Amino acid sequence: MPYSTPEDYQSLVEAWGTKIAQANQRNIFCHCAQCQAEWVSSGEEQPCPTCGSHQIERISCWQFPDD
């Protein structure tokens, strides 16, 4: 899609950046390194609901492809 001005393109990039930031705040796939539990959460610093560990790997769900 051609853009009439660089400002139009920059505006689109900023809009996408805002949407990605919003997506990062929700639906975080979590994996506990201690007990191997997996869950989806919107909280960044929550401990594992199974064992209470704070050794959590977090990945934004929007990064996973839809099948």
Query: Does residue 22 lie in a domain region?
Result: no
pLDDT digits (tens, 9 = 90+) for 11-61: 898 998 888 777 767 788 999 999 999 998 887 788 999 999 999 999 887
Query: Does residue 66 lie in a domain region?
Result: yes
| DSSP helix/strand/coil, 28 | strand
Scan for tokens 């997506």, then name that residue. 23
Q: What is the DSSP string of 34-60?
A: TT--EEEES-SSPPPTTT----EEEEE
Query: Does residue 32 lie in a domain region?
Result: yes
Q: What are the angstrom distances between the C-alpha of 63 and each of 22, 26, 34, 55?
A: 13, 12, 24, 21
Query: Does residue 20 lie in a domain region?
Result: no
Domain count, the chain: 1
pTM: 0.60
Query: Does residue 44 lie in a domain region?
Result: yes
Domain span holding position 48: 28-67
Q: Where are the alpha helices (DSSP H) in the chain?
A: 6-24
